[in-house]
């Protein structure tokens, strides 16, 4: 099976290498990107990745590398669905902002406004603090029962937070990346939309945008089509399946699965203003402000940076068996996304290099 997968991989490489090229400039750029990715993921019989590079509405590279499933020899392709891990946060933030547009929630709502009976320390925590990682909520992973092998879900995270007497710091005082905040935001969506978080994402975004295979995955309730399974290995030794952990069922901070093809539709929707109104899209892509007036490098669900006068938004995602990076340059309509089903290498450096190469071609 593994030998057969190798020959199929070679065939797909030849096909996609030709089909993904647009003109002389794009051919050179596509070949350069392919060489960069192949160097980082050189083994066609190991877990690998899928890569999409789109610029100005044209697909420069769209292809898979390596295997989605070691046991079956299934190949990674542009249609393979990977767990996004923390790239999910941009979907969660968009869902909350869509509810703001629908007047079902406000950025100034506090925790008790949404969850009556939540402890007093939540009274100063607003939705905007949750979105921008300035809430001060304690890390739920530090509060979990380490002896338990059961998976925790978003409601379980909220229950743990409801048992605490205080946060780690006053809201807005500083930036501290918070998975707890985004699990709480998923529960905010459920409370204010009055439907499951996964259903809201599908109805508001996945189906309208044609991302029909994308899903906030719930074991026993939904299915991931053409699923990449996570793998890991030590520095030396064989690869083995490492697809789930006790936190893998939490949706708001990392539970969405999609393909690079699906993500390309998501990126295009942002470029075209189809996800949020201009005002709320600007909020998502604007760095946050702390109580003392200083800026963070995080908007709502996106990291934000300016390099050489060009604004860029991006996010990484890392969890058991998966490592991902997605980067957008809105002014150039450039999307670079790398989704991998293995514990290394980290794709952020590679994605940045591809981004710079693509920008240099313009």
Please give the DSSP secondary-structure letter assigned to residue 204: I
On average, the pLDDT of the chain sits at 93
Nearest to 89 by CA among 25, 43, 132: 132
pTM strictly above 0.75: yes
Tell me the pLDDT of the chain (362 aa) as tens digits: 333 333 333 433 433 443 333 444 445 899 999 999 999 999 999 999 999 999 999 999 999 999 999 999 999 999 999 999 999 999 999 999 999 999 999 999 999 999 999 999 999 999 999 999 999 999 999 999 989 999 999 999 999 999 999 999 999 999 999 999 999 999 999 999 999 999 999 999 999 999 999 999 999 999 999 999 999 998 888 999 999 999 999 999 999 999 999 999 999 999 999 999 999 999 999 999 999 999 999 999 999 999 999 999 999 999 999 999 999 999 999 999 999 999 999 999 999 999 999 999 86
Q: What is the pLDDT of residues 200-225, one digit of tens each?
A: 999 999 999 999 999 999 999 999 99
Distance CA 255, CA 139 (A): 17
Report whether 76 contacts 12 (CB < 8 A). no
Distance CA 341, CA 347 (A): 11
**pLDDT for position 27:** 55
Please give the DSSP secondary-structure letter assigned to residue 85: G
**Where do we find the tokens 């939904």?**
222
Report whether 195 contacts 106 (CB < 8 A). no
Distance CA 53, CA 337 (A): 7
**pLDDT for position 33:** 97
From start to end of 73-222, where are the E strands? 74-75, 82-83, 215-216
**pLDDT for position 362:** 67
- Alpha helices for 259-328 (secondary structure H): 260-271, 278-284
Please give the DSSP secondary-structure letter assigned to residue 206: I
Domain boundaries, the chain: 2-86+198-361, 88-195
Please enumerate in sequence order all residues whose Cβ is within 8 A of that of 308, keeping only pairs 6 or more positions apart, or say none. none
Q: Choose which CATH entry (3.20.20.150, 3.40.710.10, 3.40.50.10890, 3.30.565.10) describes domain 2-86+198-361.
A: 3.40.710.10
Distance CA 73, CA 239 (A): 13
- The kind and range of the H/E element at 327 are strand 322-329
Please enumerate in sequence order all residues whose Cβ is within 8 A of that of 217, keeping only pairs 6 or more positions apart, or say none. 83, 198, 224, 251, 255, 256, 257
Q: What is the pLDDT of residues 134-161, one digit of tens each?
A: 999 999 999 999 899 999 999 999 999 9
Structure tokens at 140: 């739920």
Report whether 338 contacts 106 (CB < 8 A). no
**pLDDT for position 9:** 39
Distance CA 66, CA 43 (A): 6
- Indicate if the alpha-carbon torsion angle 136, 137, 143, 148 is positive or negative: negative
Report whether 177 contacts 133 (CB < 8 A). yes
Nearest to 107 by CA among 123, 86, 125: 125
Structure tokens at 265: 């539709």
Taking residue 15's Cβ as centre, other Cβ atoms within 10 Å add up to 11
Distance CA 283, CA 107 (A): 11
**Where do we find the tokens 């949404």?**
114
**pLDDT for position 48:** 98
Taking residue 307's Cβ as centre, other Cβ atoms within 10 Å add up to 12
């Amino acid at each position: 099976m593994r030998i057969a997968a190798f020959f199929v991989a070679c065939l797909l490489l030849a096909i996609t290498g030709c089909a993904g090229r647009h003109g002389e400039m794009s051919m050179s750029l596509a070949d350069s990107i392919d060489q960069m990715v192949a160097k980082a993921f050189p083994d066609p019989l190991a877990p690998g990745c899928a890569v999409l590079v789109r610029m100005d509405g044209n697909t420069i590279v769209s292809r898979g590398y390596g295997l989605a499933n070691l046991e079956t020899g299934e190949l990674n392709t542009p249609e393979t669905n990977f767990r996004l891990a923390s790239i999910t946060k941009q979907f969660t933030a968009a869902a909350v902002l869509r509810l703001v547009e629908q007047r079902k929630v406000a950025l100034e709502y506090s925790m008790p406004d949404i969850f009556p009976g939540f402890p007093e320390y939540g009274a100063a925590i607003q939705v905007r603090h949750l979105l921008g990682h300035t809430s001060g909520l304690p890390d739920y992973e530090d509060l979990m029962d380490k002896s338990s092998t059961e998976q925790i879900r978003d409601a379980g995270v909220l229950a743990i937070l409801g048992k605490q007497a205080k946060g780690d710091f006053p809201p807005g005082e500083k930036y501290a990346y918070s998975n707890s905040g985004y699990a709480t935001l998923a529960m905010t969506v459920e409370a204010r939309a009055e439907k499951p978080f996964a259903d809201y994402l599908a109805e508001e975004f996945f189906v309208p945008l044609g991302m029909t295979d994308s899903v906030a995955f719930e074991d026993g309730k939904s299915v991931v089509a053409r699923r990449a399974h996570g793998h890991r290995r030590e520095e030396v030794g064989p690869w083995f399946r490492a697809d789930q952990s006790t936190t893998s069922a939490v949706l708001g901070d990392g539970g969405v699965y999609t393909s690079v093809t699906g993500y390309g539709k998501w990126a295009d929707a942002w470029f075209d203003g189809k996800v949020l109104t201009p005002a709320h899209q600007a909020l998502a892509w604007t760095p946050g402000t702390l109580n003392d007036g200083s800026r963070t490098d995080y908007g709502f669900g996106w990291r934000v940076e300016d390099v050489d006068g060009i604004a860029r938004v991006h996010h990484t995602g890392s969890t058991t068996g998966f490592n991902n990076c997605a980067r957008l340059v809105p002014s150039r309509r450039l999307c670079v996304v790398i989704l991998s089903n293995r514990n290394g290498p980290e794709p952020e450096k590679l994605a940045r290099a591809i981004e710079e190469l693509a920008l240099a071609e313009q």
